[in-house]
Amino acid sequence: MFVKQPYLSAIVFIFSSSFLWAQEGSLDGLEIHGNFEVYAQTYNEDSIIGAPNVPEKSGVNAFGNFIATKGAFTAGVRIEAYLPPVQGFSNNYGTQPVGAPYRFAQFAKGKFDITVGNFYEQFGNGMILRSYEERALGLDNAFDGLRIKVKPIPGLYIKGIVGNQRFYWQKSTGYVRAIDGEIAINELIESLAESKLRFTLGASFVSKYEAAGLKNFEYPENVASWAGRGQINYGGFSLLGEYVYKFNDPNSDNHYIYRPGKGVLLSATYSQKGFGINITAKSIDNMHFRANRDAQLNDLFINYLPALTRQHTYNLATTLYPYATQPAGEIGIQVDIIYKIKKGSLLGGKYGTTIQGNVAIINSLDTQQISSPSDLDSEDYLPSDPSREGYKANLWTFGDKIYYRDYNIEVDRKFSKKIKLKTSYIYFVANTDISQGTALGKNIHAHIGVLDGLFKVTRKHSIRTEIQHMWTEQDQGNWAFAMIEYGYSPHWFVTILNQYNYGNPTKALRVNYPTAQLAYINGANRVSLAYGRQRAGIFCVGGVCRPVPAANGVTVSLTSSF
Amino acid sequence: MCAYSYPQLIPLLSQFEFMIKTTIISTVFFLYTLFSFGQNEGRSIPDVTVKKLDNSSFQTSEITNDGNPIIISFWATWCSPCKRELNAIAEDFEDWVDETGVKLVAISIDDARNMHKVKPYADGQGWEYDVYIDANADFKRAMNVNNVPHTFLIDGNGHIVWQHNSYAPGDEDELYELVEKLSKGESID
């Protein structure tokens, strides 16, 4: 029988581990568990919404995790299939239809936790190192190598890793070696165990090795970076900060300059019952940090730089003008407030009313150019030239270019046992030339209003409706959105929705995007079938959120855990 | 018009052949693992490190409730159905605790982008839950969660006895009936 090699090795791997246990004489306590996910789409050409003629007519992405656990041992494998990849996912997945890119064996007992094979890891806020899987984005930069976690004394946590990163069906050529230590002061010092004042401190060191390539100047083959972090809590107050520094790392993102990278994240929080506020500030400069210096797009990032804006859930707010972090440089601040007006008060009503407000301001970093990118890219530019610093910047001052503004408020009120209403207003100023690579030469100003009503008809039957509208004079003009969703607990959802770009300045592009969906849920299994036109973005229907790419056709989604 | 012309059909067929083969292999593999070891009564909670809201570490094997039932609910600040579910439960949660002794553990899968908003949100809504942050999805993976919301029910012996994906209004009533059964020592099928 024809079996693909990595596939075979994965099966042998799991079986041999299970036989090893069997030899110990007992299978008592052995647990086999895992999950499946299948996402399939068919494609109709739909030139008016830009859905191309897809020669293969359909795409299927499928994932199966199998994990075996017995006592301190865990071993697992993930089999992935792209037959061929669903549109919107990298064609690099299509180079091998089926395989087992993720397999690991782990031993965790007492103070030690050792993993060989693939693993995911995050240090601090991830600004220096984070490997993770975001399947809906087709993103997986898992390490393949060795990880050791040790807790030598209470309150001290040390992690060491070494490995390559996943690059679709291949591995990074660069190696990553990293160590992280974290101290929980209140666990370390016994007399502080019950103190209201709580401290944690952490530090990381990450080094990447990649052999110099063929360019006509010298690369640092080893690139080091470090980070320090701390958090203080006192009752409802909390204050945290992380600083990260990366030594010279000429790469394709920064035009091969020798300037170091820097990043800082500061966050303050206060909360009590019925009220919470968080203020976070972030500044980053030249922080593309990848396992291969010539990697592009979302590939092979060693670090993760969180976007400092609200993660919206309403369709028009998530899909049209979202913000994307600019690792090359950005500075921003975000304030997020929640307040619950008490039940029974005049404003709060019988069941209470919740108000949430959020403001995010993101600008360019204040920089002075030393040499232009085109000079830096020219072949005869001397690498040893001290001006290969590229530019000068101050991490702590705002530049004058707007990258993004997001002002939004949401009021949520339950009127009776049967009726709940939520209303939102969102105002974006989006520099899509920066966040989406457009060439508009101007910012987009968009106002969005949302009315979201939930009507619990009887104990098991409910109807939810959403009406959204976006006003904008730029880009594609105004949009309207309406949705109705019928839920029959605990098994069924039927959803019908339409988006209408009625304000498009080009009459022929005033298009409707209707979609109908049926979903069936049984325990940990969920199947859904949808037909219609869809745009890209994070999208919530049928009680589940997932990002989806644009298409016209039938979508079948299946998830299951066992 | 015919969707596939003849030359296109050959690679398509070989792909189908491949699909069929791989499907057979994976099915055999799956059934082998399932039946050779038999089904467990219910897994116990896997041991993974998550973060408390004060940023210190917490081992998930320490999720216990003196023999009373436990609900583990995976959610995120950006997930509307998750918040609908947890806020719906919050309205009656005092009664749930009084009558069954149940504990609710809310696992936020928010990453660094939103994890600093988890505590203000949970306090702002007045939740009486144990909230932990699983910023890099370690616990989510160990519990085989595909999407949020995903809710688990743990019996007094620490075994996972029920799970449910997604949320429709009214699901909380079914959940409470199951919690009541568990607290009386009845089995749920």
Does residue B40 surpass a pLDDT of 70?
no
A68 and A133, same domain (yes or no): no
Does residue B60 surpass a pLDDT of 70?
yes
* CA distance to A282, A364, A401, A436, A486, per residue, from A443 (Å): 22, 14, 10, 12, 38
Domain assignment present for residue B133? The answer is: yes
Give the residue numbers spanning the domain of B176: 49-183
Dump pLDDT digits (tens) for A190-241.
Answer: 999 999 999 999 999 999 999 887 665 677 899 999 999 999 999 999 999 9
Residue B7 is predicted with a pLDDT of 44
A188 and A212, same domain (yes or no): yes
Domain assignment present for residue A231? The answer is: yes
Residue A215 is predicted with a pLDDT of 62
Domain assignment present for residue A321? The answer is: no
A439: exposed, middle or buried (Cβ count in 10 Å: 0-12, 13-18, 19+):
exposed
Interface of B with A in 100-119 (CB under 8 A): 111-114, 116-117, 119
Domain assignment present for residue A247? The answer is: yes
Residue A238 is predicted with a pLDDT of 96
Residue A545 is predicted with a pLDDT of 39
B107 and B160, same domain (yes or no): yes
State whether residue A30 sits within 8 Å of chain B by CB: yes
Residue B9 is predicted with a pLDDT of 46
A95 and A122, same domain (yes or no): no
A159 and A227, same domain (yes or no): yes
A189 and A244, same domain (yes or no): yes
B135 and B76, same domain (yes or no): yes
Interface of B with A in 47-106 (CB under 8 A): 47, 54-57, 76-81, 84, 91
Dump pLDDT digits (tens) for A461-482.
Answer: 999 999 999 999 998 999 999 9
Placement of tokens 């609910």 in the chain: B73
B85 and B33, same domain (yes or no): no
Residue A538 is predicted with a pLDDT of 47
Domain assignment present for residue A481? The answer is: no
Asked if B116 and A79 come within 8 Å (Cβ–Cβ), the reply is: no
Asked if B150 and A67 come within 8 Å (Cβ–Cβ), the reply is: no
The interface predicted TM-score of the complex, written ipTM, equals 0.92
Asked if A526 and B147 come within 8 Å (Cβ–Cβ), the reply is: yes
Whole-angstrom distance, CA of residue A125 vs CA of residue B116: 10
Count of structural domains within chain B: 2
Other C-beta atoms lying within 10 Å of the C-beta of residue A344: 10
A181 and A89, same domain (yes or no): no
Give the residue numbers spanning the domain of A235: 110-263+283-305
B159 and B123, same domain (yes or no): yes
Domain assignment present for residue B53? The answer is: yes
Residue A13 is predicted with a pLDDT of 56
State whether residue A387 sits within 8 Å of chain B by CB: no
Distance of residue B102 Cα from the nearest chain A Cα, in angstroms: 20
Residue B38 is predicted with a pLDDT of 41
Distance spanning both ends of chain B, measured CA to CA? 52
Interface of A with B in 431-470 (CB under 8 A): 454, 456, 459-462, 464
B148 and B60, same domain (yes or no): yes
Strands, sheet with B57-59, edge to edge from the N-terminal-most edge strand: B57-59, B49-51, B130-133, B103-108, B70-75, B150-154, B160-165
A155 and A234, same domain (yes or no): yes
B98 and B172, same domain (yes or no): yes
Residue A371 is predicted with a pLDDT of 78
pLDDT above 90 as % of chain B: 71
Interface of B with A in 14-43 (CB under 8 A): 15, 18-19, 21-22, 25-26, 29-30, 33-34, 37, 40, 43
Whole-angstrom distance, CA of residue A439 vs CA of residue A456: 47
A87 and A216, same domain (yes or no): no
Domain assignment present for residue A557? The answer is: no
Asked if B124 and A313 come within 8 Å (Cβ–Cβ), the reply is: no
Does residue B36 surpass a pLDDT of 50?
no
B82 and B157, same domain (yes or no): yes
B117 and B178, same domain (yes or no): yes
Domain assignment present for residue A213? The answer is: yes
Q: Higher-confidence residue: A417 or B28? A: A417
A89 and A196, same domain (yes or no): no
B33 to chain A: closest CA residue: A32
A173 and A294, same domain (yes or no): yes
Domain assignment present for residue A398? The answer is: no
Domain assignment present for residue B43? The answer is: no
- Contacts with A53 (C-beta within 8 Å, 6 or more apart), sequence order: A43, A45
Does residue B94 surpass a pLDDT of 80?
yes
B1 and B64, same domain (yes or no): no
Asked if B136 and A126 come within 8 Å (Cβ–Cβ), the reply is: yes
* CA distance to A19, A22, B33, per residue, from A105 (Å): 14, 16, 17
Asked if B162 and A545 come within 8 Å (Cβ–Cβ), the reply is: no
Beta strand A537-541 pairing with A544-548: antiparallel
- Among candidates A157, A269, A488 on the partner chain, residue whose Cβ is nearest the Cβ of B120: A269
A187 and A227, same domain (yes or no): yes
**Nearest Cα to A289, choosing from A182, A159, A131, A148?**
A131
Q: Higher-confidence residue: A8 or B154? A: B154
Distance of residue B73 Cα from the nearest chain A Cα, in angstroms: 13
A78 and A220, same domain (yes or no): no
Distance of residue A367 Cα from the nearest chain B Cα, in angstroms: 25
Task: Give the CA-trace dihedral at A17, A130, A430, A440, to 10 degrees.
Answer: -80
Domain assignment present for residue B28? The answer is: yes
Asked if A560 and B146 come within 8 Å (Cβ–Cβ), the reply is: yes
B153 and B76, same domain (yes or no): yes
Q: Identify the segments of chain A with pLDDT beneath 70.
A: 1-26, 214-217, 379-387, 536-549
Domain assignment present for residue B44? The answer is: no
**Nearest Cα to A412, choosing from B108, B83, B82?**
B83
Domain assignment present for residue B150? The answer is: yes
Whole-angstrom distance, CA of residue A323 vs CA of residue A312: 11
Asked if B30 and A66 come within 8 Å (Cβ–Cβ), the reply is: yes
Count of structural domains within chain A: 2
Domain assignment present for residue B188? The answer is: no
Domain assignment present for residue B75? The answer is: yes
State whether residue B134 sits within 8 Å of chain A by CB: no
CATH of the domain at B98: 3.40.30.10
Residue A438 is predicted with a pLDDT of 81
B120 to chain A: closest CA residue: A276
Asked if A18 and B174 come within 8 Å (Cβ–Cβ), the reply is: no
- Among candidates A34, A98, A132 on the partner chain, residue whose Cβ is nearest the Cβ of B22: A98
Residue B149 is predicted with a pLDDT of 96
Distance of residue B184 Cα from the nearest chain A Cα, in angstroms: 22
Domain assignment present for residue A512? The answer is: no
Distance of residue A274 Cα from the nearest chain B Cα, in angstroms: 4
B92 and B3, same domain (yes or no): no
Size of interface A-B (CB pairs under 8 A): 243
B23 and B59, same domain (yes or no): no
